[in-house]
Amino acid sequence: MAIYQAPLRDMRFVLHELLDSSALSQLPGYEQATPDLIDAVLEQAAKLAESELFPLNLPGDAEGCHFENGVVRTPKGFKEAYRIFREGGWTALACDPDYGGQGMPHAVNFVVEEMISSANLSFGMYPGLSAGAYRALYLHAEDWIKQQYLPKLVDGTWTGTMCLTEAQCGTDLGLIRTRADPADDGSYRISGTKIFISAGEHDLSENILHLVLAKLPDAPSGTRGISLFLVPKFLPGEDGRPGPRNGVSCGSIEHKMGIKASATCVLNFDGAKGWLVGGKHQGMRCMFTMMNAARLGVGLQGLGVAATAYQSAASYAKERRQGRSLSKAQAREGGEADPIIVHPDVRRLLLEMRAVSEASRALAYWVGMEIDQAERNPDESRRQEAEDLVALLTPVIKAALTDHGFEAANNAVQVLGGHGYIHEWGVEQLVRDARITQIYEGTNGVQALDLVGRKLGQDMGRLLRRFFHPVAAFLAKHANDAALAAYIGPTAKAFGRLQQATLSLAQKGMANPEEAGAAATDYSKLFALVAWAFMWCRMAAVANAKLAQSEDDTDFYKAKLDAARFFMARVLPRHSTHFQAVMAGSETLMRVPAESF
């Protein structure tokens, strides 16, 4: 059966030993966020994920959401779980105390998001969308909107959505047709239809706040003419409570491959009353606030699924007996068969899941820490450095971690064999749930284009230097460290290939944009491999130092080094394939006539 126990020891290793979470309490406003407090928060989050959310994952998938007469009901147990979630303050964790939030660092919230995604990806969609709506309003809305709406989002009594997609446009939002007509009272009347709206209608909260992209009558064409509007499901009364129903309704819910307990809705706006957020024709700037945060959140979803997949597969492999070990040294006493953990190919699958997951966790938490630096550090130059690194790594994390989540889920099915293919065992659900993460919030191909087309050349490569420089400095510092030779050498080779590929793309892409487009996905994968390798080098350095200093927890640190060696020997060499594909150019793709497909 699928199992999940929050990997708190590994999470603490990354936060405290690798990234030095004590630095968070040195930032203005985070003085109380000490390692001890962070650990206490994570322990409570683990209990919530393991005891309340994970038990609902399999039955929630089986039941799905119900749509009747415009009303959506979530699966049995979800409403009570959300009440516990909300009353526990989890919707307020990283929100501003001025609006009722707890003011915890984003890095801590990242860890909690991973746990929620591991335990119940469908459930996590509801508060996840609210967090994005909160952030967009917090950064862009007028003060009266913040005062009226943010406290309700923070305490979770109201939830939020992102309403972007329409039938004729997904990635190309310049094609939207939803319109916003000015009203005499300063509000707007929103009309149009949005599709694929996660958490667009449900029974978990008393009101839903829709953030809707629409165009004003005088809007310029394309994305330059998009504006953002706040459209409540119920218009607040004078007492602040939900009043009359607004002109927005759910037309249907989608019947999906996965995340079936998350309501994905068609929303019809029929002259619904809304308010402008962030200025006329500034909708894309505001929406990217939500989308960039959401892309990192989706990356954490991929990591969360991978964690559950690994735990489930490893547990099964240690119990399931099939065949005999190829080596007497691995054979177990008694019985006609050995646990399948003795077989090399099963170990290959498990170690790949584990090695990439642990590197992904380190990479994601590093970015979470940098978000806190970008927002709170008093030094302007340090804030800019952190902001640049986050911007650069956002598409890498979204694509790499969701690709890994899907692959890890597939590998878990492979380990379980026929049982993995059966619904009641809970592992095939992970495959179905993980698949959407590679698609929504911008497909992984779009993330690759963002990395190559926008981030690499921005400000003459300034963003790129925020990653390349620390990698180069670390490799140079440890070049002659014999204890790290098994990690530094392979990483240096892969890093050199990444630098060469970057230079080639810069030269070819200026002459022919299709060169960059053709290379984008392989370049993104090459970048991710180097980023993972860099994190493993750093983790190996910490593990070696700990083993030299103390006899405590030696098994944990030795396991870290084992995973690092596996990554360098078995995963990182894939950089050669991606490098060769990047350097191959666009001709083999673009010379084929469309009629040939």
What tokens does 200 get? 């667009």
**CB-CB contact of 404 with 357 (8 Å):** yes
What tokens does 201 get? 């209608």
The two beta strands, 158-163 and 207-215, are parallel
Q: Tokens 């200093």 sit at which residue?
A: 549
SS3 (DSSP) at 504: helix
- How far lies 455's CA from each of 183, 268, 388, 506, in Å? 40, 36, 9, 12
| Separation of alpha carbons 190 and 27, rounded Å | 42
Closest CA to 369 of 19, 61, 12: 19
What tokens does 502 get? 């970057």
| Separation of alpha carbons 385 and 145, rounded Å | 32
**CB-CB contact of 158 with 204 (8 Å):** no
Which residues lie closer than 8 Å to 334 by C-beta, 6 or more apart? none
DSSP state of 82: H
**For this structure, is 407 an active site residue?**
no
Torsion angles phi and psi, residue 73, rounded to 5: -115, 130
The two beta strands, 264-277 and 248-253, are antiparallel
- For the purposes of burial, counting CB atoms within 10 Å of the CB of 501, is it exposed (0-12), middle (13-18) or buried (19 or more)? buried
Closest CA to 264 of 211, 165, 198, 212: 198
Q: What amino acid is encoded at 200 in this protein?
A: G
Catalytic, out of 370, 407, 441, 515: 441
What tokens does 452 get? 């190559």
Which residues are annotated as catalytic? 441
